[in-house]
Amino acid sequence: TDEPLVLGIETSCDETGVGIVRGHTLLADTVASSVEEHARFGGVVPEVASRAHLEAMVPTIERAAETAGVALSDIDAIAVTSGPGLAGALLVGVASAKALAIGLGKPIYGVNHLAAHVAVDQLEHGPLPEPCLAMLVSGGHSSLLEVTDVTVGVEPMGSTIDDAAGEAFDKVARLLGLPFPGGPHIDKQARSGNSVAIDFPRGLTSRRDLERHRFDFSFSGLKTAVARWVETQQREGVTIDVADVAASFQEAVCDVLTRKAIDAATSRGIEDILIGGGVAANSRLRAMAEERATAAGIRVRVPRPGLCTDNGAMVAALGAELVARGRTPSLLDLPADSSLPI
Ligand code: KG4
Ligand code: ZN
């Protein structure tokens, strides 16, 4: 086969990810996470993450090559997340990718983390639908992006004006005494809860807000509403039904996310929505998006949960696409850019 063999490195947050793909075929997706080390702080500590990446990098690359059954010398190109993300964490990935590229004498491609979240879907569902509307929802970002050509970039239509969706899940989970990261625990609790038990606010959906923030999100008011509700119950000595709070909170988040994603797609005549980022693993979000999109005549693609969270395969997938479409590699002075524009 003449499809490019690409190794991708992702270190923008707390996952040291190394993926290897051949074209659209996933050969290895090895992730070492420092999430446990951050758990007691209730959030990712940048310095801890950088150090963990440094320790995990070489063993993770070796494990990925072993899993893929390839020799590093067979790799055609190296792709690496150059931003956005935590500065020190990105630096470890970019420096490692440069070392590999120089050592192997192969081209290096610096990629945008958000575009990589989009490109990963081709490993599961084949060629990307372009144009598509991408909704990226994770602990660090919540954005609606128009994607015309993923190798050129992604155009932001809207994003959160305060907390990211995953951050809201994590903060509410903490309020409810659930472990970090809280998203999966809320998801699980919500299954046995009543989603209409409590009517939590839907951020930026009033007619006035829609004028200025039609495709933007706000989750901090929702988080505060949950905190107040919990406090009130406690003050009145009422036992909190964690499942009901989780289900009602989750319903509010998913309602706004799916409503705005479909509105954004419809407004540009786009017929495919792609969901990525850690929160895309949420079972209610998947079901609601599917149901509402179908009603609007829109198709939805969501990669399997393991590909939605940060990983190296997504970077390799975008790298393979850059090679396949003949894009020019990055220069070896490629910077790690924490505030890389989308
Ligand atoms: O993409 P990701 O692994 O890392 C970044 O933040 O970039 O996303 C992690 C986020 C966390 O906030 C986590 O709580 C959330 O994704 N998450 C979920 C679920 N699984 C992970 N949120 C809701 N429901 C889930 N099932
Ligand atoms: Zn991410």
Taking CA atoms only, the protein residue closest to ligand 1 atom 16 is 278
Distance in angstroms (rounded) separating the CA atoms of residues 78 and 100: 8
Distance in angstroms (rounded) separating the CA atoms of residues 156 and 161: 13
Residue 277 CA, closest ligand 1 atom number: 1
Domains with residue ranges and CATH for the chain: 5-120+311-324 (3.30.420.40), 132-304 (3.30.420.40)
Q: Are 196 and 181 in contact (CB under 8 A)?
A: no
pLDDT digits (tens, 9 = 90+) for 197-252: 999 999 999 999 999 999 999 999 999 999 999 999 999 999 999 999 999 999 99
pLDDT digits (tens, 9 = 90+) for 187-197: 999 999 999 99
Distance in angstroms (rounded) separating the CA atoms of residues 267 and 261: 10
Give residues whose Cβ lies within 5 Å of ion ligand 2: 138, 310
Pocket residue to mutate for ligand 1, from 186, 288, 309, 315, most atoms within 8 A of Cβ? 309
Pocket residue to mutate for ligand 1, from 279, 288, 310, most atoms within 8 A of Cβ? 279
Instruction: Name the residue among 41, 1, 36, 37 with its Cα closest to residue 21.
Output: 1
The residue type at 98? K
Q: State in Å: Cα 310 to ligand 2 middle.
A: 5
**Range of weakest confidence among 12-16, 20-24, 125-129:** 12-16
Give me the residue label for tokens 């999966």: 184
Buried b (16+ CB within 10 A) or exposed e, 203-231: bbbeeeeeeebbbbbbbebbbebbeebbe
Instruction: Locate the DSSP E strands across the chain.
Output: 5-10, 15-22, 25-33, 77-83, 108-112, 132-137, 142-149, 153-159, 272-276, 299-301
Distance in angstroms (rounded) separating the CA atoms of residues 109 and 78: 6
Q: Is the ipTM of this complex over 0.85?
A: yes
Q: Percentage of residues in the chain with pLDDT exceeding 90?
A: 89
Structure tokens at 34: 């420092």
Q: State in Å: Cα 326 to ligand 2 middle.
A: 25
State how far Cα 16 lies from the chain centre.
14
Tell me what the mean pLDDT of segment 37-57 comes to.
Answer: 88
Ligand 1 and 169: CB distance under 6 A: yes
Residues of the binding site for Fe cation: 113, 117, 310
Ligand 1 and 279: CB distance under 6 A: yes
Instruction: Name the residue among 86, 201, 61 with its Cα closest to residue 140.
Output: 86
Tell me what the mean pLDDT of segment 33-47 comes to.
Answer: 83
Cα–Cα–Cα angle for 159, 180, 48, rounded to 5 degrees:
85
Q: Are 78 and 101 in contact (CB under 8 A)?
A: yes
Q: State in Å: Cα 13 to ligand 1 middle.
A: 12
User: What pLDDT, on a 0 to 100 scale, did the predictor assign at position 2?
Assistant: 82
The residue type at 124? E
Tell me what the mean pLDDT of segment 11-30 comes to.
Answer: 96
Q: State in Å: Cα 138 to ligand 2 middle.
A: 6
Q: Are 217 and 159 in contact (CB under 8 A)?
A: yes
Q: Are 140 and 13 in contact (CB under 8 A)?
A: yes
Distance in angstroms (rounded) separating the CA atoms of residues 180 and 185: 8
User: Where is 269: in which H helix or E strand?
Assistant: none
Ligand 1 and 4: CB distance under 6 A: no
Distance in angstroms (rounded) separating the CA atoms of residues 79 and 314: 10
Q: State in Å: Cα 171 to ligand 2 middle.
A: 18
**Range of weakest confidence among 41-55, 148-162, 292-306:** 41-55
Residues of the binding site for substrate: 136-140, 170, 183, 187, 282
Give the ligand at the shortest distance from the Cα of 140: 1
Instruction: Name the residue among 15, 92, 2, 1 with its Cα closest to residue 313.
Output: 15
DSSP code of 278?
Answer: G
- The sign of the torsion formed by the CA atoms of 121, 125, 128, 131 equals negative
Q: State in Å: Cα 301 to ligand 2 middle.
A: 17
pLDDT digits (tens, 9 = 90+) for 81-132: 999 999 999 999 999 999 999 999 999 999 999 999 999 999 999 999 999 9
Ligand 1 and 10: CB distance under 6 A: no
CB neighbours of 224 closer than 8 A, spacing ≥ 6?
none
Distance in angstroms (rounded) separating the CA atoms of residues 103 and 97: 10
Q: Mean of the per-residue pLDDT values for the chain?
A: 95
Ligand 1 and 181: CB distance under 6 A: yes
User: What pLDDT, on a 0 to 100 scale, did the predictor assign at position 1?
Assistant: 63
Tell me what the mean pLDDT of segment 271-279 comes to.
Answer: 97
Residue 335 in 3-state DSSP? coil
**Confidence check: pLDDT of 341 > 80:** no
Q: Are 169 and 178 in contact (CB under 8 A)?
A: no
The string of DSSP codes covering 238-268 is PPP-HHHHHHHHHHHHHHHHHHHHHHHHHHT
Residue 173 CA, closest ligand 1 atom number: 14
User: What pLDDT, on a 0 to 100 scale, did the predictor assign at position 41?
Assistant: 83
User: What pLDDT, on a 0 to 100 scale, did the predictor assign at position 342?
Assistant: 62
